[in-house]
Chain A
Amino acid sequence: MSRLMPFIFILLAIALIFGYVRPTWEGQIAQAKADIASYDAALTAASNFSDNEAKLEQERDAIPADQLNRLNVFLPDSVDNVQLILDLNALATRSGVTLSNFATPTGANGTDANAQTQTAPNSGPLVDSLTLSVSATGSYDGFRAFLAGVEQSLRPLDVSQLSVTDSDTGVYTYQVTFKIYWLH
């Protein structure tokens, strides 16, 4: 029996090494190491994100609130064409021009036929646009004042079509089509 003991011990050692140590090292431990590396990468990314978030918050806070509000007016979240018409009407009144026949063409399915979308590279639609047509009457000087006011307005209105018809009375007829934008 005592002669067999060394062989039993060696077999025990072989069984431990190849039956437990090696499978555990290559399996459970290797997997755990991979998981830890993955978590470390994610935690590093989370840390970077937190740093960037703090930096961005700081930069955003550095922008005056009224400037952010102006930016929101410049490129609003919705078309809000009714308020725009009211503003245009007020501007026209101050310029001595009378506006009428506001029209935003719509397609057969009820959607805006002239709505267009600008896209940025590698991204979805970001800006939508809509055409707004309006008729106007008034003096040429009044119309120029109105047009200058529109061009300088905080919310950008791009003239895409302009028609001017002369009159002997000095009161001309205008047909203007504006293009307005909002953030999609």
Chain B
Amino acid sequence: MESGNNMFLIVSLIIAGIAIIIAIGVFAYAHLLESETAQKAAALKQAESSVSESTVDSFIRLRDRLTQAQTVLSQHVLMSQFLDDLSSLTLTDVRFTNMQITVGEDHSAAVHMTGTAKTFNALAAQSAAFATQPLIKQAIFSGITADDKGVVTFTLNAVLDPRLVDIPPTLPASWSVAAPAEAATTTDTTQATSTATTTP
């Protein structure tokens, strides 16, 4: 009976000892983790302090400028393309006296022109010439009247396809990028040619 009591005492002592060892281990582990937490918090603070807000802003600004510049450039309007086409399409017996072009948000352009033609036949030929340019749509001649000398006055309304005023995928070889003030010197060599009959 006495030996059974001693055995129970020994087992209880072992259990209590294990519990104490575990408690000490947990205590040490908790302090170790606290120390590690403090170290990582300090490291993070240091990492945060090394981040320059102005540097980040400059990167964001540069990214925005690059992406938006690409968008603006891809939607650049080149009215000269239409004026070149108009010069080549206008017949010698036809003269435009007034022209108004309005470019819409979708880059289609509404054109309103008034002009004179030496004869009805010249006007008919002019109408046929415009029909050969598929990017000039809905070209409607109206207000057609003839004076005593047979000179025909008319009004032309048309819609330009966006491809006629948008920047082409490939820039002309003669182009060079310059500021407006600088551009004058470069455009002297690329002046569009036009004759008296093709001027508006």
Contacts and interface: CB of A to CB of B under 8 A. Distances in A.
A147 interface: yes
A10 B97 CA distance: 112
A46 B44 contact: yes
Contacts of A157: 180
Contacts of B51: 46, 49, 53
A127 B182 CA distance: 25
A162 B79 contact: yes
A149 B189 CA distance: 11
A113 interface: no
Interface stretch (B3-11, B120-128, B129-137, B145-153): B3-11
B183 A91 contact: yes
Nearest to B172: A152
With a 10 A CB-CB cut-off, give which of B8, B80, B175, B180 has the most chain A CB atoms: B180
Interface string B22-66: 110011011001101100110110011011000110010110111
Contacts of B177: 70, 152, 154
A78 interface: no
For chain B, give the interface size range: 35 or more
A32 B33 CA distance: 6
A84 B181 CA distance: 9
Given A16-B19, A154-B177, A172-B199, A118 B30 contact: no
Contacts of B64: 126, 183
A39 B103 CA distance: 56
Tell me what chain A mostly uses at the interface: helix, strand, loop, or mixed. Answer: helix
Interface size class of A (residues with CB under 8 A): 35 or more
A87 B37 contact: no
Main secondary structure of the interface of B (DSSP, over half): helix
B14 to A, nearest CB: 9
A142 B36 CA distance: 76
Contacts of B26: 20-21, 24-25, 29
B50 to A, nearest CB: 7
B186 interface: yes
B77 A84 contact: no
A158 B109 CA distance: 13
Given A13-B19, A16-B22, A148-B191, A94 B185 contact: yes
Contact of A13 (B15, B36, B43, B78): B15
Q: Which of A75, A152, A156 has the most CB of B within 10 A?
A: A152
A84 B179 CA distance: 9
Contacts of B194: 140-141, 144
Given A17-B22, A140-B194, A150-B180, A74 B186 contact: no
B175 A166 contact: no
Interface of B: 5, 8-9, 11-13, 15-16, 18-20, 22-23, 26-27, 29-30, 33-34, 36-37, 40-41, 43-44, 47-48, 50-51, 55-56, 59, 61-62, 64-69, 71-73, 75-80, 83, 95-103, 175-188, 190-194, 199-200
Interface of A: 2-3, 5-10, 12-14, 16-17, 20-21, 24-25, 28-29, 32-33, 35-36, 39-40, 42-43, 46-47, 49-50, 53, 56, 60, 68, 70-75, 84, 86-88, 90-91, 93-95, 118, 120, 126-127, 140-141, 144-166, 172, 179, 181, 183
23 contacts: A5-B9, A9-B15, A14-B19, A42-B44, A71-B69, A75-B69, A90-B180, A91-B183, A93-B184, A94-B188, A118-B71, A127-B71, A140-B199, A144-B194, A147-B80, A152-B183, A152-B186, A161-B101, A162-B99, A163-B99, A165-B97, A165-B200, A166-B97
